[in-house]
Structure 1
Amino acid sequence: MSNAIRPHPFAIPEADLDDLRQRLARTRWPDKETVDDWSQGVPLARLRALADYWRDRHDWRATETRLNALEPSSTTIGGLDIHFLHIRSPEPDALPLVITHGWSGSSVENVKAARMLADPRAHGHDPADAFHVVLPSMPGFGLTGKPREPGWTPERIAHAWVELMRRLGYDGFVAQGGDWGYSITNELGGIGLPAVKAVHFNMLPVVEGMEARDAQEEEGLRRVRDFKENQSGYQLMQIQTPQTIAYALTESPVGQAAWLLDLYWRWMDHDGDPTDAVSMDDILDTVDWYWLTGTAGSSARIYWESMRTFKEREIAVPVAFSQFPRDLHMASRRWVQERYPTLMYYNEVEKGGHYPAMEQPEMFADELRKGFRSVR
């Protein structure tokens, strides 16, 4: 099969945008919640305001134009078209970097930080810290192909990323990820040299049963208990019956928006509403990324595919780690060091949550510059 890299711009048909606006206008709304907070889920008034903005003011075409300036391309690996953005640095000695998004995230959320990473000189930083940045979309997400059979696990995806980077001319590179991007980047770290020089994580899964020796570690275990007891409904659905939830999310744009907004509220670093941390347009760019590509079901299947079978790899290459304060998982330096003895960098960042590249792109970019500086 051809190894060709093919241009693959975003080009959503106007009919699909018209259909979206019509569906938003025809939304059949539920009753208002019986509480004055988010404890029953996304409040009705909050979602109606987002839907009104989406219908009347959000400009997907402007987003499309920005994305199409970043060499959106596809290549076929393992029988599946892998779609990616490629932000080349103007610096000749830039370090190749692949960043993997998670679910409920997107490659779109990494674009602001990727521009800063690719051209640090233009953003007031040392050009010696430049990266060539590749932002692939996982199988079943965005414009990457939708698998028609099981088997696209984090392990398989990681090996596809190695091949993708090779085809782009990068025989050696570094990798970054959180959420499902953590799982894939963990596998990349396990693959290691000569392809993978080092990895950076912005999340480490904390699990019940880990020993807590201080207040930070106690808080890490508290967050895990709270997730299990109060926040894991979406995860159980996508592990057990992703096809069932796909019907509702594929039919209703408001349903798709609520499914994602609920998690943004839980895990972003904000003062009561996700739009304290990011703009409505930032949120809707990712919601559009799922809605306009019809990937509610195919993206959810990563949970069914891998959640109960994924095993963390031992990593021999250097590991860097950044702990953002409002992330779902809070991992101490000790916990990270025990998991990854090759830890070369650990930092607790002052702001940000589970989506740091969207919430705090400058801080996120700076963490990657510092985290990978010693492996250049």
Structure 2
Amino acid sequence: MTTPQVTPFKAHVSDDVINDLKLRLARTRWPDEPEDAGWDYGTNLAYLKELCDYWQDGFDWRKAEARFNAFPQFMTEIDGQNVHFYHIRSPEPDATAMIITHGYPGSVAEFLDIFGPLTDPRAHGGNPKDAFHIVAPSIPGYGFSGPTKGKGFSTRQAARINVRLMEMLGYDRYIAQGGDWGAGISGLVATYVPDRLIGLHLNLMVGAPADPANPADGLTEDDLAYLKWKAAYEENESGYQVIQRTKPQSLAYGLNDSPAGLAAWIVEKFKTWSDCGEDIESSYTKDQLLENIMLYWVTQTINSAMRLYYESLGPGRLVNDIRSISVPVGHARFPAEIRRTPRKWAETICSNIVRWEEQPRGGHFAALEAPDLFIDEIRAFARQLRA
């Protein structure tokens, strides 16, 4: 097998793209909104105007580019798909290798504040024994990995690309970590190459009742309360998934053309899936929100990102076909995570759960919203595996 070429990469967007963005923001044709709507109907109009005003006149993309370029990035092609990835080797020679995979509507921007402490703990007041060599790919179809080519690219293909990427980089033993799509992709890696995984760490778990006829059997009161909450969530909050797994192309025309539309579609999930109450900026700054949104805008990848839903969960497809994971599994359950699967259900798939930690704050985008807790949790999991 020929080893694909790997080339260094730096984020750089032309002035023409930035100027076009600002013109589009200035020409936004805003919709109406019912009085006192809040966020009940979707993204709040007043907040979106505030965010877009800042995007147009206050957000410094060149500063954001410098943040993206502070760590080594690369491009390659695997199985016919472009793959952008961070590869940050620790200065500590005995560091543990880990591949960490983002989800939707996130990106590698979620990890910018954890790369330093995880790869060089000595420089950040930590124990050098807790060091990691980090590989963080942009899922093909997301950000600088660019639009996917052709039909049929699902999380299965993404997992095989992650396996191949680690082979190319010379890692034969490593931890896989993920949330959202990254959890599914990392879980598939654990089924494809269990002999290569030291462990699997997830901040989103899947599972199912051992006895479908008695799904509540063995569940705690907290579990039952969550299932009641989840039923209401599915009723009121799952519309985005229905359209993305059935007709993403129709939605993409508006989101790819309108930066305000793109921001509205993405920022609503960051508000709903985070531990922020009614104040999204208690969890994220405007700059953090826009760094992530910009990756979709400048690469024009919202369509291919949404298409992953169609290819993985769409008509006649079922990506959640992981039946058994035998490697050591750690789980950090954040209180605002939308999929807080009961442990009893998780154990029907993961036979070797060695760590299950309830976190005091944070949600779906854990590495971005609660980087301190996320870093501590990953370090503790790796220590447990070494013990």
TM-score over 0.5 for the pair: yes
Instruction: Give the match for residue 150 of structure 1.
Output: 151
- Match of 1:282, as an amino acid? Q
Query: Could you tell me the TM-score, scaled by structure 1's length?
Result: 0.96
- 1:1-376 aligned within 5 A: 3-205=4-206, 210-211=215-216, 213-307=219-313, 308-310=317-319, 311-376=321-386
Quote the Cα distance in structure 2 between the aligned partners of 1:192 and 1:347: 25
- For residues 72-95 of structure 1, give each alpha carbon's deviation from its aligned partner in whole angstroms, at most 9, with x where no partner exists: 111111011210112221111111
- Match of 1:68, as an amino acid? N
Q: Note if contact 2:82-2:148 (Cα within 8 Å) is conserved in structure 1.
A: no
Quote the Cα distance in structure 2 between the aligned partners of 1:126 and 1:30: 52
Quote the Cα distance in structure 1 between the aligned partners of 2:272 and 2:64: 26
- Match of 2:241, as an amino acid? Q
Q: Note if contact 1:41-1:262 (Cα within 8 Å) is conserved in structure 2.
A: yes
Quote the Cα distance in structure 2 between the aligned partners of 1:331 and 1:102: 18
Query: Could you tell me the TM-score, scaled by structure 2's length?
Result: 0.93
- Match of 1:253, as an amino acid? P
Quote the Cα distance in structure 2 between the aligned partners of 1:347 and 1:337: 15
Structure 1 unaligned residues grouped into runs of 5+: none
Quote the Cα distance in structure 1 between the aligned partners of 2:208 and 2:58: 42
- What's the CA shift for 1:8? 1.8
Structure 2 unaligned residues grouped into runs of 5+: none
- What's the CA shift for 1:206? 6.1
- What's the CA shift for 1:360? 0.5
Q: Secondary structure at the match of 1:374?
A: helix
For the aligned residue pairs, the C-alpha RMSD in angstroms reads 1.6
Q: Note if contact 1:324-1:353 (Cα within 8 Å) is conserved in structure 2.
A: yes
- Match of 2:11, as an amino acid? F
Q: Note if contact 2:8-2:74 (Cα within 8 Å) is conserved in structure 1.
A: yes
Q: Secondary structure at the match of 1:194?
A: helix
Q: Secondary structure at the match of 1:197?
A: strand
- For residues 99-157 of structure 1, give each alpha carbon's deviation from its aligned partner in whole angstroms, at most 9, with x where no partner exists: 11001111111121122111122222221111011110111101113222223221221
Q: Percent of counterpart pairs with the same letter?
A: 38
Shift of the 271–32 alpha-carbon distance from structure 1 to 2, 3 Å rule, reads same
- Match of 1:319, as an amino acid? V
Quote the Cα distance in structure 2 between the aligned partners of 1:222 and 1:49: 35
- What's the CA shift for 1:98? 0.6
Quote the Cα distance in structure 2 between the aligned partners of 1:374 and 1:366: 12
- Match of 2:312, as an amino acid? S
- Match of 1:166, as an amino acid? E
- For residues 170-209 of structure 1, give each alpha carbon's deviation from its aligned partner in whole angstroms, at most 9, with x where no partner exists: 1211100111111101101112343222110101136696
Q: Higher mean Cα deviation, 70-79 or 30-39?
A: 30-39
Q: Secondary structure at the match of 1:81?
A: strand
Quote the Cα distance in structure 1 between the aligned partners of 2:120 and 2:225: 37
Quote the Cα distance in structure 1 between the aligned partners of 2:195 and 2:208: 32
Q: Higher mean Cα deviation, 202-211 or 87-96?
A: 202-211
Quote the Cα distance in structure 2 between the aligned partners of 1:36 and 1:147: 37
- For residues 247-298 of structure 1, give each alpha carbon's deviation from its aligned partner in whole angstroms, at most 9, with x where no partner exists: 0000000000000111111110013121111111010110101111101101
- What's the CA shift for 1:2? 5.0
